[in-house]
């Protein structure tokens, strides 16, 4: 089946690295508990400090909605509440929320939250600082894929193993998933309009829309690399990053650095356009400039207070991956780095017949 990008899902049509292997098809999110996300914390609370860390499980609620509910219930401003990541609505999610409540009784806060909100508190403790975006080790996913293609279990298993082997060797494309672009798939276009002054938005919504536009441009850059056979290949001027590091360096000796890339020591990074973004040079820089030209914009558009920008790894490697088949049902259990999307992994496994 040929895919085309649609307003509802701008990620349709993005190339996969396993396109030569038939997908398993199937559907996800047929029930809330079919999509489970659990944050794996970067550190444990110290047991003292002005902030209360609540580890909360809830269903069918975005992180933003949970933050708003907590703010209303506890009389807290947005700035007093911290999260390490934004989670989607259609899932069962466990994540840590920090609350700046220096004088509050922790047990009393827990009782109020559990009595008034439809959530479960897994743990609560004080800590010295506010929780901030990215302050987590990884996200663990347990995802149920139903209604797989009508094939024998042995054939489905062979397909899955072939796809997993390719991903273990090369990594998976670190695309932003369809969740980033909103229910109607138009957040990126709205973000562009905000930057161009054609739409007004404030605060959290403004940052969300601009981020969606940055994400769409990154996806376009990564798709072009894959189509041109450069997914896991370095070129002169690329900004690469050691695995697990936020630092980047310019690729000058391509042959030497390519060996490190093949060994999984370093990764190519792509552009999240903004005023503080480090820029690729040479042929790699030309590719990034081409993305802007194709969009009909210049870098001047990103000189905005809510548009710092940065770099993002082109690929990631799922960890601790386990799976189990039960008839036409597949359960996948795996972990991804902060900011990476399980749907980017699933689109490789399910193929173009996927229902995400």
Q: How far apart are CA 138 and CA 213, in angstroms?
A: 24
Q: How far apart are CA 346 and CA 202, in angstroms?
A: 33
Q: How far apart are CA 255 and CA 261, in angstroms?
A: 10
Q: How far apart are CA 228 and CA 199, in angstroms?
A: 35
Q: Which of 88, 232, 238, 267 is catalytic?
A: 88
Assess whether 186 carries a catalytic annotation. Answer: no
Q: How far apart are CA 79 and CA 77, in angstroms?
A: 5
Q: Determine the pLDDT at residue 152.
A: 82
Q: How far apart are CA 181 and CA 331, in angstroms?
A: 26
The DSSP secondary structure of 230-279, one letter per residue, reads -TT---TT-EEEETT-S--EE--SHHHHHHHHHTTSEEEEEEE-STT---
The helix (run of H) or strand (run of E) holding residue 136 is: strand 136-148
Q: Determine the pLDDT at residue 2.
A: 42
Nearest-5° angle of CA 268, CA 42, CA 334? 65
The DSSP secondary structure of 276-312, one letter per residue, reads T-----HHHHHHHHHHHHHHT--GGGG-STT---EEE
Q: Which residue in this structure is represented by tokens 């997914």?
A: 231
**Per residue in 58-93, pLDDT tens?**
999 999 999 999 999 999 999 999 999 999 899 999
Task: Output the pTM of the full model.
Answer: 0.93
Contact 143/331 with Cβ under 8 angstroms? yes
**Domains of the chain and CATH, by start:** 43-133 (3.30.2350.20), 175-313 (3.30.2350.20)
Q: What is the largest CA-CA distance in the chain?
A: 61
Would you give the distance in Å from CA 252 to the centre of its chain?
A: 29
Q: How far apart are CA 110 and CA 124, in angstroms?
A: 8
Ranges of residues in the chain with a pLDDT under 70 are: 1-8, 353-356
Q: Determine the pLDDT at residue 355.
A: 58
Nearest-5° angle of CA 284, CA 287, CA 288? 95
**Per residue in 246-283, pLDDT tens?**
899 999 999 999 999 999 999 999 999 999 999 999 99
Q: Compute CA distances 199 → 209, 210, 297, 298, whole Å.
A: 10, 11, 17, 19
């Amino acid at each position: 089946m040929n895919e085309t990008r649609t307003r509802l899902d701008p990620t349709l049509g993005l190339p996969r690295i396993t396109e030569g292997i038939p997908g398993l098809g199937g559907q996800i999110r047929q029930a809330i508990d079919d999509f489970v996300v659990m944050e794996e914390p970067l550190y444990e609370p110290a047991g003292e400090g002005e902030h209360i860390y609540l580890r909360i499980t809830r269903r069918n609620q975005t992180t933003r909605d949970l933050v708003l509910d907590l703010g209303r219930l506890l009389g807290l401003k947005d700035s007093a509440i911290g999260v390490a990541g934004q989670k989607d609505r259609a899932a069962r999610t466990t994540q840590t929320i920090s609350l700046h409540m220096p004088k509050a009784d922790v047990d009393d806060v827990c009782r109020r939250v559990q009595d008034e909100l439809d959530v479960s508190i897994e743990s609560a403790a004080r800590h010295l600082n506010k929780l901030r975006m990215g302050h987590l080790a990884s996200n663990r996913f347990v995802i149920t894929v139903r209604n797989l293609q009508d094939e024998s279990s042995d054939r489905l298993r062979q397909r899955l193993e072939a796809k997993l082997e390719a991903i273990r060797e090369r990594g998976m494309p670190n695309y932003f998933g369809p969740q980033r672009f909103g229910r109607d798939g138009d957040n990126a276009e709205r973000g562009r309009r905000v930057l161009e002054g054609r739409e007004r938005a404030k605060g959290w919504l403004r940052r969300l829309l601009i981020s969606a536009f940055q994400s769409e441009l990154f996806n376009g850059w990564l798709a072009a690399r894959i189509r041109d056979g450069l997914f896991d290949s370095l070129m002169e001027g690329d900004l690469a990053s050691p695995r697990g590091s936020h630092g980047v360096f310019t690729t000058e000796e391509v042959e030497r650095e390519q060996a490190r890339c093949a060994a999984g020591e370093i990764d190519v990074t792509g552009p999240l356009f903004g005023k503080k973004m480090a820029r690729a040079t040479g042929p790699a820089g030309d590719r990034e400039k081409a993305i802007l030209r194709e969009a009909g914009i210049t870098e001047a558009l990103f000189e905005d207070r809510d548009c710092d920008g940065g770099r993002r790894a082109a690929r990631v490697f799922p960890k601790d991956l386990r799976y189990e088949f039960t008839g036409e049902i597949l359960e996948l259990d795996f972990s991804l780095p902060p900011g990476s999307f399980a749907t980017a992994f699933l689109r490789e496994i399910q193929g173009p017949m996927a229902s995400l």
